[in-house]
Structure 1
């Protein structure tokens, strides 16, 4: 069970960050986040945090 929490949180962060980026850039309509620069900037940061969490989760799973 080592690393599963990090993998889950990392995957969730990558998906959420990608969604925020797409919403912030205005590619998806119908949300309060659409065309907001804050979400277009915060999304990639969350994606990077998620990728780091995935990397640490994969390292924990290999041991």
Structure 2
């Protein structure tokens, strides 16, 4: 009986640990996806900002050259 109790307790603990591992993996996957999306959005904004400022700089150089 004591042996059976220990086996059931061990199985219960390993099941709970497995559930926690699955939940951790799911949350980590979701967090990883969110971080990836944030980096993609920031990269797009950075490219747009570079395009805007390079166009502004070219325009300034063009008008300065005309004067």
Structure number with the higher helix fraction is 2
Please indicate the TM-score interval, normalised by the length of the shorter structure: 0.3 to 0.5
Q: Which structure has more RCO (C-alpha within 8 Å, separation ≥ 6)?
A: 1
Question: Normalized against structure 2, the TM-score is what?
Answer: 0.40
